[in-house]
Structure 1
Amino acid sequence: METNLVLEGVKFMGLGMGAVFLFLAVMIFFIGVMSKTINKFFPEVRPIEGSSSKNTQNNNQQQKVVAAITAAIKHHRES
């Protein structure tokens, strides 16, 4: 009773790789279904074009952050 170990190894490799491929294909399918379901029931809220007050506040906040970072760098370089 002689067994070809190389052939057995190739069989197990094919079985293992097939199982991993099947698992990944099923996972990708269910992730796509989940994504579509979430987007259907919870759509992304887009900002209204005319809401300039929020944009102004956000821009003002960003300017304050940039000023604080610039001051910190300047203070660090002086000392």
Structure 2
Amino acid sequence: MIDRKGIVIYFQNPKVIKIVKKYNVNITYVNKIGKYLTGYCDAKDYPTIKKELKKNRLIKKVDESLVEMPSIDI
């Protein structure tokens, strides 16, 4: 079973979307006016992804989504 964790990223510039895709985050929604995106990633990779994204100066804030993500059976 793969546990997933939802992630919300607030950014300053839409160029960040390309950077986020490199960290294996599956983007589900992008709001360019509100300057945020939502997506999900593996729960075990979440702490490292969060730490790496916070280092980027174009990203304001990285939060965990409050929505429960279902596990996937493989």
TM-score of Structure 1 vs Structure 2, range by shorter chain = under 0.3
Structure having the higher strand fraction is: 2
TM-score, normalised on structure 2?
A: 0.23
From the CA coordinates, give the structure whose radius of gyration is larger. 1
Structure having the higher helix fraction is: 1
TM-score, normalised on structure 1?
A: 0.22
Whose RCO is larger (CA < 8 A, sep 6+)? 2
